[in-house]
Structure 1
Amino acid sequence: MTQQAAALQTYNNELVKCIEDLCSKREELNRQIKQEEEEKERLEHDIRVLSEKLSRVNESLGQRLAALTTFDRTIAETKAAYTKILESSQSLLSVLKQETENLSKTTEPRRKEH
C-alpha cells in the first residue's frame, strides 16, 4: 500500500502542478485579451477622430475646388472681354487713322496746276 500511496501522492502533485500551470496560462491569456481590448478601443477612437478629420478636409476641399472653378471661369471671362476690348481698340484706332487721313486730305490746300 505504501507504494500505491506514493504513486497517488505523485499523481496528486502532478495534477496540482498541471492545474496551477493551466491557471497561470489562463491569467496570461486574460492579460493579453485585456491588453488587446484596450488597443482595440484606442484604435477605434483613432479611427473616429481620423474619420471626422477626413470629413472636414473633404468638405474644405470641396469648397476650395468650387472656388477654384469660379476663379477659372472669372479669369476666362475677363480674358475674353479684354481680348474684345483690344480688338475694338485696334479697330477704333484704324478707323481714327483713316478718318484723320481723309480729313487731312480735305483740309490741305490744293496745289495749283500749271
Structure 2
Amino acid sequence: MTHQGAALQNYNNELVKCIAELCDKRNELHKQIIQEENEKSKLQNDLRIITDRLAKVNENLSRKIAARNEFDKTIAETESAYSKILESSQSLLNVLKRESVELKERVTSAGPLKATSQ
C-alpha cells in the first residue's frame, strides 16, 4: 500500500504542478490581453483624432476650392469685360481717326476760314 500511496502522492504533486503551470500561462495571457486592449484603446483614440483632423482639413479644402472657383469666375468675367473694352476702344479710335481725316478734308476743301462780322 505504501507504494500506492507514494504513487498517489506523485500524481497529486504532478497535478498541482500542472495546475500551477496552467495558472501561470493563463496569467501571462491575461497580461498580454490587457496590453493589447490598452493598445487597441490608444489606437482607437488616435484614429478618432485623425478622423476629426481629416474632417476639418476636408472642410477647409472645400471652402478654399469654392473660393478659388469664385476667383476663377471673377477673373474670367473681368478678362472678358476687359477684352470688350479693348475692342470698343479700338473701334472708337478707328472712328475718331476716320472722322478726323474727314474733318481735315472738309476744312481743306472749304478753303481758308473767313472772319464774320456782326
Match of 1:91 in 2: 91
Could you tell me how far 1:55 is from its partner in structure 2? 1.2
Per-residue deviation, residues 47-104 of structure 1 (Å, max 9, x unmatched): 1111111111111011101101100100000000000000001100110110011011
Match of 1:50 in 2: 50
Could you tell me how far 1:2 is from its partner in structure 2? 1.8
Q: How does 1:77-88 map onto structure 2 within 5 Å? A: 77-88=77-88
Per-residue deviation, residues 1-32 of structure 1 (Å, max 9, x unmatched): 12111211111111011001100011011001
Could you tell me how far 1:44 is from its partner in structure 2? 1.1
CA RMSD of aligned residues (A): 1.4
Q: How does 1:29-44 map onto structure 2 within 5 Å? A: 29-44=29-44
Q: How does 1:1-114 map onto structure 2 within 5 Å? A: 1-108=1-108
TM-score normalised per structure 2: 0.89
Q: Secondary structure at the match of 1:108?
A: helix
Aligned residues: percent identity? 57
Distance, in Å, in 1 between the alignment partners of 2:76 and 2:89 is 20
- Equivalences, count: 111
Q: Which structure 2 residue ranges, 5 or more long, are not aligned?
A: 112-118
Instruction: Report the residue type matching 2:100 in the other structure.
Output: T
